[in-house]
Structures are given as C-alpha cells and as structure tokens.
A and B are shown apart, each in its own frame.
Chain A
Amino acid sequence: MNRTLRTAGLVGAAAMLLAGCAVGTGGGAGADADYDAEAAVEGELSIMGFSAVDEVAQARIDLAEAELEGVEVELIEGDLDIQQFLSAVATGEPPSLLYADRDQIGSLAARGAVVPLEQCIDGEGIEMDQFVESAVDQVTLEDEVYGIPEFNQVQITMANADLLQAAGVAIEDVNGSDRAAMTEANRKLAKVDGGKVSVIGVDSKLPEFLPLWVAGAGGSPISEDGRTAQLDSPEAIEALTWAVGIYDDQGGFAAVKAFRDSADFFGEGNQFATSTLGAMPMEQWYLNVLNDVSPDAPMAFDSVRGTDGEPIAFAGGSAWAIPSGADNPEAACRWARVMTSLDAWQAAADARLSAREAEGKPFTGILTGNTVADEAIREMVTSGGEPWDSGVTAMYEANDHTVALPANPADAEFEDAMQNAVNSVLNGEATPEEALAEAQETAQQALDEGWAEIDGGGD
C-alpha cells in the first residue's frame, strides 16, 4: 500500500512538474504598455532576426539608436531562427522585438506569439496608410495589425537581349502577358541536345513563383480573408500546367534544374553573362547583382505581366513584431517606428547612394515598403544607362502592382502544401490536377484547424 501511494505521489509530482515546465507565454503581454511618442524610453531592447548587414541597415540603426538614447540595444544577429525564438518564448524570455518574414507573422499571431500593434501604432503615431497595401495585408489578421512592414521584394522579367534577338523573339514574348507566345519563345530560345541543356530558354522559376503565375492569370492561391485555399482553382491548374510545360519542352525539370544549379549565380559567370539563359522572372535585388558582377551583360528588362497585359508582382518582405511577453514593448515600438520612418529610409538611401558613387556604380533605388519613402528615394536614383535604367523602371512599375498572400494562421502548412504539389508535378509523381487537389485538401485542413483556434478562442 505504501509503495502504491509512493508511486502515485511520484507520478502526480511528475505530472505537476511537467505541466509547470510548459507554461507558454501566448496570449498576453504588452497589454499594459504605455506607448507615447513623446515619452522617453529606457532599459534594454533585445532584437532578434535583424543584422547590420549593409549601409542601409547601419544608417537606420544609427538613427534609431540616436532616437532611443538611453536604451541598451542588443542585436541577436542573423536571419530569424524560429527554433531560437520559440525556445526563448518557451522559457519565458522572448526578445523585445522580432524581425521576421512577413509571411511568418500570421502563424505567430494566431498562436499568440506576437501582440497586436494597435496601441503601438496609435501611441507612436505610425502612419500605416503610408505602407504598401499588400505588405500591410500580409501582417493583418482578423483586422488586427501584428507587424510594421519594411522592404518590398518584387519580381521583374530579366532576359538576355542577344539570345532574344538571335531567336527572333521580343521581351514582350517572355514577360508572361501571352503564355502561348512565351511557350513558343522558350522553344526557340532553349538549346537541348541528347537530354543535356546548354541554354535554358525560359525558366518559369517553379516551385517558388507559382503564386505569381496564378496571380497573373487573375487568380489567387488563397481567398482574401485567408480562410479558403484556392489551390485547385482553374487559374492555379492552368498556371501550373503551363509553367511545368516550360520545363517539359526543355527535357524536363530535372535537366533544367541540374543545369541551373551548376551556374555561377552570383558571379561573373552568371547565366545571363554567359548567355545560357534566355529569360526568367526574378526579384529586383538580382538587378544589382548583375550590374555589379557583369555590367556588360546584354540585358533586357520588363515587368512581369498578367495575361491582361498589366504589370504584376507577388510581393514579400520583412516586418517588425513585438513578441508576447516582451519586457520592453515601448522601446520595441519606438524602434519599429523609427526604422520604418521616412527619415530612416532617406538616411539609408543617402548611405547607399554614397557607397554606389564611391564604387562608380548607379544607385538603383530601394523598395522600402513605405510608399512615401519609395517616392522620395526614386528621385535619388542615378542613371546607369541602358539597359539598367529600364530595369529600375520595371522595378518601380512592379512595386505599384503588388499582390501578396494574406496573413493566415497556417501559412507554413499552406506554403508547404503548395510547394509539395508543385514539386510532385515537377518530379513526375502527379498531374497538376491531382497534385493541386491533394494540396487543396491539406491546406484547407490546416487553415480550418488554425482558424478554429482563433474563432473558438482556443489557447
């Protein structure tokens, strides 16, 4: 009997200990914070996921540190390590401020890992209407803003003008506006011999750019409210079928990817400089890479265009968010406000402009996620001559026509389901219809479970 009681006691104690270990921090923090743009802030500010990687970051850090005089800032540098963040949250010691990809914010918000910023925005006077609309959508869940966006990554069409001319095709044939023409252009541009690719005609950049092609066809992988997956929509099936066909016409994705992976993507021997790639959509930062390493590459640029001929870009970027349980939310909010302010972006643009002038290279602008700052910085852009100026024009055009996936509570599962579907088609394991039907089911289930937690007030 004594033994039984002792065992029961031990089990009970262990259960209490176990339950006590996993207290979690979700739900409440920062609620009693007093955000006031005029008030002085002090204490420590730990920031996770942000690095002083270049002059754009450093100029803004300098400004923010000056504004937050008296605050001891600690940068936990490197890209956000979600494991590191979750460990910090689980131990009840989250950082004061988080710098994350915008598409991570929805899931973190749904689980209570980051707090709504309404009070922060009001208190600090952050003008949310200055931000790019699609960027704000990405950090807004159930009408609550959970992140202050910054930077905007957009895609533009990049092409090798010499290859286009030799094949008798124009940039308009590879910008996505006419998909039949793009398929035909791909066939003309590609060089494949015995299953070996020596020139990629068009790279449709699957699996990552499926949402771009779906948006270009007038669809969206997910509904505007983030509740309903639309992966098996006719637009999605058509887009995937077409984009995979681009690879099939070149001997299949395996051959194209193997050739693509062997390229010196960031060096002088990149695919455009070596004339081994006809065209592809790519994020705007690659424009600077090309200009840096191969300024004489025979480039041609345009926006990516939808089937209606209008420019379109599938935007991404970063955001500042305040973790639940953060011990200095006031300083965190101030930092987010200053870092995304017009002054900060102008300081950043000045620093970048000086650096580029020192290198004798053009300043191609910065897409900040803040429309007012974007306009101001666009005025500072310096000419690099053609074709680079056309690239910058295409970049700003794309920035004015962005769409994005709305925040939702299952963004990781959703993207995983979507990419698995594309990969299974690329690997020859399923047809687009089959793959997308399965992805639709998986993604919808994840969304339903995520929204049920929010709607039901689940913890």
Chain B
Amino acid sequence: MTAAATERGTAATPGRRDPQGRGRGIPSHRRGSAWREARPALLFLSPWIVGFVVFTAWPMIYSAYLSLTDYDVINTPEFVGLENYAKLASDEKVLLALGNTALFTLMQVPLYVVVSLLLALLLDRAGRASGFFRTVFFLPKMTPPVAVGVLFLLLFNGQNGLVNTVLGWFGIDGPAWTTDPAWVKPGLVFMSLWTVGASVIILLAALRNVPETLYESARLDGAGFWRSAWSVTLPMISPALFFIIVVNTIAGFQTFDEAYTAFFGAGNTTYSNDAALFYVIYLFQQAFEFLNMGYASALAWLLFAIIMAVTAVQLIVSKRLVYYEGDR
C-alpha cells in the first residue's frame, strides 16, 4: 500500500482510526498536509531515532530484563525475580561505593563550577588573547581519561609528585594523595579540574551574552563590581551554571575512567583503595570481572534511579534560582 493510499484510508475512515474522536473537527486535507510536512522531518530525524532506539532505548530495556535474571554472559539468563535488588540492600560494598561517589560529587561539582567561573571571568577580560587561552584551557579535555588516570599517579605521587613539590616550596608537607584513604578522593577531585575547559567555554559564552546595558543601568544605580556580579552577572548566566551543575553532577555519579585506571587498572594492577571504589567501578567489577551481569544490571538501575531523583531535585530548586530571560 502506498503512502498516498494510507493517507486516503485514514481520511476516509476517521471514526475507526480515532474511536475517541480526538481527530474530529480537523479537516482531512490539513491532516494530510501535516503528514507531508512530518515525513521529511522524520526522515532527517531517523538517524538519531534509530541510534536512540538501538544504542539507548533497547539496551536500557534489555538491562532492565537482565536485572531480573542470574546471567553470567556465557549461559542463558535465569529469571530470579527481584533477587538482585534484594541483594543490593545487603551488599556493604554498594553502600561504600555510593558513599564514595556521593562524597566525590559533593566535593567535585562546587569546586569545578567555581574554578570554571573564575577562569571564564578571567578569559572574559583577556581581550584578544582570550581565543588563545580558550584553546589552551580546552586542550586537556582532549586527553584520554586513561592517560589522566596515569598522570594523576605521577603528579600526585606523595614522595616526588609535582603537586607536593610545589606545595613544598611554600613549606607545606603534602599528603600521600594516592595511598592515604583520607586524601584519595580530594586528589581525584583536584585532578578532575584538568578537564575544566569545556565548562569554561560554556560560561564564557554566557558571560558574553549578558547585555552591556544591564551593567550600565546597574552602574547608574550606584552598583559596584560585586553588586553587579551578584545582581546582574549571576542571574544572567544562571541557566549556564545550572546546566554545568546538572551535567557535572551526573558525570560525578558516573565517575569511572580516571579512578579505575589509577587504582584498579593499568596504574595499579593489584593495589587498590576502598576510598576510590566508586559506584560505576563496582558495577564494572561485578559485570566484567565476576561475570555477575544480572546483578550489575540491577546496580545500573539503582544508579539510574538515584541520578533521576537528584536531577529532579535540582530541577525543582532551579525554578527558584535560575533566571530564564525568555520566561519573563
């Protein structure tokens, strides 16, 4: 049947296709026109739709199914109901990994945002050199995360690392960042600043979009630098800040590459540190080291639920704190 025939059929039997009568009152020629307009749109969107279905939606549905099974990747999954989810509650490592991940995120996101903002403010005043520095700040983002993990071990080596050497110039005896459980997460937080460039560029764009007229008005009203920053700059760039906070919170909960390389992979094949056992690392271990793919799927869905809940809270809070110019 051709598309045209389908359209004719739809138009000729509206009652059968739409028993609730939602389509009544819309002239058939307008519906046909809408479909003609929709087709090219769907055609152009189809790569994304296919990609989403194949690489996102389907794996999600499949992992939901696997989370209800005992599956070792090699043999046929065996349905076990909610057993994997019950096991989550009694697994001490889940709590440890969640605690590590939450603490890392709580430390990393604020620091990341503050440093990004400071660098963006500096770049905003850098004049013609800002293009160069923008590139320089972004370059580390291109570094493979595995290399960053190894770099972490070198830079933060407690004995001869560059970080402690610099601290030593100021009379500070740096800690054992890579081995002392109390300093492992702070070390990883500092190392995460390596990739701050992407956020800097987003904030710089937001800063440059603040209309100069608002600053002029503020100055006429007697506002100084700090008052302008608080009452003009921050509200105007709050959508960008909110975006960075949400994205980095999600990234924080999914932290894996650098910590895995440094403490569970190539950097340390046998030595590890419970302080660096982040949630996704534990998930990975269950899936690919212990071959508990069913349990790992349940772990993934728990993380999904937590991220959804945290993001929902952030969205609710954002309604009070984020200013969208278009919403006036």
> A residues engaging B (CB < 8 A)?
14-15, 18-19, 21-27, 82-83, 86, 89-90, 107-108, 111-113, 196-197, 207-208, 253-255, 257-259, 261-262, 324, 412-413, 416, 419-420, 423-424, 426-429, 446, 459
The reply to whether A427 and B274 contact each other, CB–CB distance below 8 Å, is yes
Q: B77 to chain A: which residues have CB within 8 Å?
A: 19, 22, 24
Complex Cα distance, B69 from A207, in Å, reads 34
Partner of A412, one of B62, B161, B290: B290
The reply to whether A262 and B74 contact each other, CB–CB distance below 8 Å, is no
Partner of B66, one of A22, A424, A426: A22
The reply to whether A254 and B180 contact each other, CB–CB distance below 8 Å, is yes
Which 4 A-B pairs rank lowest in CB-CB distance, beginning with the nearest?
Answer: A254-B179, A258-B158, A258-B159, A26-B75
Q: With A107-B291, A207-B270, A207-B271 in contact, is A258–B176 under 8 Å at CB?
A: yes
Complex Cα distance, B290 from A459, in Å, reads 16
Q: With A22-B66, A255-B158 in contact, is A90–B273 under 8 Å at CB?
A: no
Output the least CB separation between B295 and chain A (Å). 12
Count of chain A to chain B residue pairs whose CB atoms are closer than 8 Å in the complex? 113
27 pairs, A vs B, C-beta closer than 8 Å: A15-B65, A19-B77, A22-B77, A26-B72, A82-B288, A86-B74, A89-B73, A90-B74, A108-B74, A207-B270, A253-B179, A254-B180, A255-B158, A255-B159, A257-B179, A257-B271, A258-B158, A258-B179, A262-B159, A413-B290, A416-B285, A416-B289, A419-B270, A420-B272, A426-B271, A427-B273, A429-B181
Output the least CB separation between A99 and chain B (Å). 18
The reply to whether A261 and B291 contact each other, CB–CB distance below 8 Å, is no
The reply to whether A14 and B61 contact each other, CB–CB distance below 8 Å, is yes
Complex Cα distance, B85 from A69, in Å, reads 53
Q: With A89-B74, A253-B179 in contact, is A18–B65 under 8 Å at CB?
A: yes
Q: A459 to chain B: which residues have CB within 8 Å?
A: 75-76, 78
B157 at interface by CB-CB < 8 Å: yes
B2 at interface by CB-CB < 8 Å: no
B105 at interface by CB-CB < 8 Å: no
The reply to whether B179 and A427 contact each other, CB–CB distance below 8 Å, is yes
B178 at interface by CB-CB < 8 Å: yes
The reply to whether A112 and B181 contact each other, CB–CB distance below 8 Å, is no
The reply to whether A262 and B157 contact each other, CB–CB distance below 8 Å, is yes
Output the least CB separation between A425 and chain B (Å). 12
With A257-B179, A429-B181 given, name 4 new contacts (CB 8 A).
A14-B61, A108-B74, A416-B290, A423-B271
The reply to whether A18 and B159 contact each other, CB–CB distance below 8 Å, is no
B298 at interface by CB-CB < 8 Å: no
Complex Cα distance, B290 from A413, in Å, reads 6
Output the least CB separation between A24 and chain B (Å). 4
Output the nearest chain A residue to B177 by Cβ-Cβ distance: A258
Partner of A254, one of B153, B176, B272: B176
Which secondary structure characterizes the binding site on chain A? helix
Q: With A255-B158, A427-B181 in contact, is A86–B272 under 8 Å at CB?
A: no
Output the nearest chain B residue to A197 by Cβ-Cβ distance: B159
Q: A15 to chain B: which residues have CB within 8 Å?
A: 65
Q: B73 to chain A: which residues have CB within 8 Å?
A: 24, 86, 89-90
Q: A416 to chain B: which residues have CB within 8 Å?
A: 285, 289-290
B172-200 interface bits toward A, Cβ cutoff 8 Å, 1 = contact, 0 = none? 00001011110000000000000000000
Complex Cα distance, B75 from A423, in Å, reads 33
* Contacting residues of chain B (55-80) with chain A, CB-CB under 8 angstroms: 61-62, 65-66, 69, 71-78
Q: B176 to chain A: which residues have CB within 8 Å?
A: 254-255, 258
Output the least CB separation between A135 and chain B (Å). 21
Which secondary structure characterizes the binding site on chain B? loop
Q: B13 to chain A: which residues have CB within 8 Å?
A: none
B160 at interface by CB-CB < 8 Å: yes
Q: A254 to chain B: which residues have CB within 8 Å?
A: 158, 176, 179-180
B275-288 interface bits toward A, Cβ cutoff 8 Å, 1 = contact, 0 = none? 10000000001001
Complex Cα distance, B291 from A296, in Å, reads 47
Output the nearest chain A residue to B76 by Cβ-Cβ distance: A24
* Contacting residues of chain B (142-187) with chain A, CB-CB under 8 angstroms: 153, 157-161, 176, 178-181
Q: B61 to chain A: which residues have CB within 8 Å?
A: 14, 18
Q: A412 to chain B: which residues have CB within 8 Å?
A: 289-291
Q: B275 to chain A: which residues have CB within 8 Å?
A: 427
Output the nearest chain A residue to B69 by Cβ-Cβ distance: A22
The reply to whether A258 and B160 contact each other, CB–CB distance below 8 Å, is yes
Complex Cα distance, B184 from A428, in Å, reads 14
Q: With A14-B61, A24-B76 in contact, is A261–B289 under 8 Å at CB?
A: no
Q: A429 to chain B: which residues have CB within 8 Å?
A: 181, 274
Q: B160 to chain A: which residues have CB within 8 Å?
A: 258-259, 262
Output the nearest chain A residue to B288 by Cβ-Cβ distance: A83
The reply to whether B159 and A259 contact each other, CB–CB distance below 8 Å, is yes
The reply to whether B76 and A423 contact each other, CB–CB distance below 8 Å, is no
Interface centre among A26, A108, A324 (most CB of B within 10 A): A26
Output the least CB separation between B299 and chain A (Å). 16
Q: With A419-B272, A423-B274, A459-B76 in contact, is A196–B159 under 8 Å at CB?
A: yes
The reply to whether B76 and A261 contact each other, CB–CB distance below 8 Å, is no
Output the nearest chain A residue to B284 by Cβ-Cβ distance: A83
The reply to whether A208 and B270 contact each other, CB–CB distance below 8 Å, is yes
Q: A19 to chain B: which residues have CB within 8 Å?
A: 76-77
The reply to whether B159 and A423 contact each other, CB–CB distance below 8 Å, is no
Interface centre among A82, A108, A257 (most CB of B within 10 A): A257
Interface centre among B72, B178, B180 (most CB of A within 10 A): B72
Complex Cα distance, B289 from A15, in Å, reads 27
The reply to whether B178 and A423 contact each other, CB–CB distance below 8 Å, is no
Q: A22 to chain B: which residues have CB within 8 Å?
A: 66, 69, 71, 76-77
Q: B161 to chain A: which residues have CB within 8 Å?
A: 258, 262
Q: With A107-B291, A258-B158, A428-B181 in contact, is A112–B74 under 8 Å at CB?
A: yes
Partner of B178, one of A108, A112, A261: A261
Output the least CB separation between B305 and chain A (Å). 21
The reply to whether B62 and A18 contact each other, CB–CB distance below 8 Å, is yes
Complex Cα distance, B290 from A107, in Å, reads 9
Complex Cα distance, B293 from A24, in Å, reads 13
Complex Cα distance, B73 from A257, in Å, reads 37
Complex Cα distance, B288 from A176, in Å, reads 36
The reply to whether A111 and B271 contact each other, CB–CB distance below 8 Å, is no
Q: B78 to chain A: which residues have CB within 8 Å?
A: 459
The reply to whether B291 and A86 contact each other, CB–CB distance below 8 Å, is yes
Q: B159 to chain A: which residues have CB within 8 Å?
A: 196-197, 255, 258-259, 261-262
Complex Cα distance, B273 from A429, in Å, reads 10
Q: A413 to chain B: which residues have CB within 8 Å?
A: 290
Complex Cα distance, B292 from A446, in Å, reads 11
Output the nearest chain A residue to B71 by Cβ-Cβ distance: A22
